Amino acid sequence: MKKEYETVIGLEVHIELATKTKLFCGCSTAFGGAPNAHTCPVCTGMPGALPALNRQAVEYAVAVGLATNCRIAEFSQFDRKNYFYPDNPQNYQITQWHLPICKDGGIAVETPQGQKMVGIHQIHLEEDAGKLIHDEEEDCTLVDFNRSGVPLIEVVSEPDLRSAQEAVCWLEKLRMTARYLGASDCRMQEGSMRVDVNLSVRERGSTVLGVRTEMKNLNSFRALIHAVENERDRQIARLEEGRPVVMETRRWDEQRGCSYSMRSKEEARDYRYFPEPDLPPVIVSEEWIESIRRRQPELREAKMARYQSQFGLPAYDADILTLEKRLADLFEAAAALCGKPKKVSNWLMGETMRLLREKGRSAESLDFSPENLAKLIELQESGAVNAPVAKQIFERIFAEDADPEAYVREHHLKIIGDEETVRETALRVMEENPRPVEDYRQGKEKAAGFLVGQTMRAMGGKADPAAVNRVVRELLAGLREGKG
Ligand code: ADP
Ligand code: MG
Ligand code: ZN
DSSP line for 284-326: --HHHHHHHHHHPPPPHHHHHHHHHHHH---HHHHHHHTSSHH
When pLDDT is averaged across residues 131-138 and rounded to a whole number, the result is 90
Q: Are strands 213-218 and 248-253 parallel, antiparallel or unpaired?
A: parallel
Confidence label for 484 from pLDDT (cuts 50, 70 and 90)? very low
Which pTM does this prediction carry? Answer: 0.84
Q: Partners of 459 in the beta sheet?
A: none
Q: Are strands 75-76 and 274-275 parallel, antiparallel or unpaired?
A: unpaired
The best mutation among 81, 156, 198 to test binding of ligand 1, ranked by most ligand atoms within 8 Å of the C-beta, falls on 198
The atom of ligand 1 lying closest to the CA of 156 is: 14
The larger pLDDT score, comparing residue 267 to residue 375, is at 375
Q: How far is CA 399 from CA 325, 361, 368, in A?
A: 20, 12, 8
Q: What's the CA gap between 304 and 337, in Å, rounded?
A: 20
379 Cα to the center of ligand 1, angstroms:
58
Q: Is the CB of 157 under 6 A from ligand 1?
A: yes
- Percent of the chain exceeding pLDDT 70 equals 97
Q: Is the CB of 100 under 6 A from ligand 1?
A: no
245 Cα to the center of ligand 1, angstroms:
15
pLDDT tens-digit readout, 17-52 = 999 999 999 999 998 889 999 999 999 999 999 999
Q: Is the CB of 199 under 6 A from ligand 1?
A: yes
Confidence label for 170 from pLDDT (cuts 50, 70 and 90)? very high
pLDDT tens-digit readout, 419-448 = 788 888 889 999 999 999 999 888 888 888
25 Cα to the center of ligand 3, angstroms:
5
Q: Are strands 282-283 and 75-76 parallel, antiparallel or unpaired?
A: antiparallel
Confidence label for 268 from pLDDT (cuts 50, 70 and 90)? low
Q: Is the CB of 158 under 6 A from ligand 1?
A: yes
Q: Is the CB of 122 under 6 A from ligand 1?
A: no
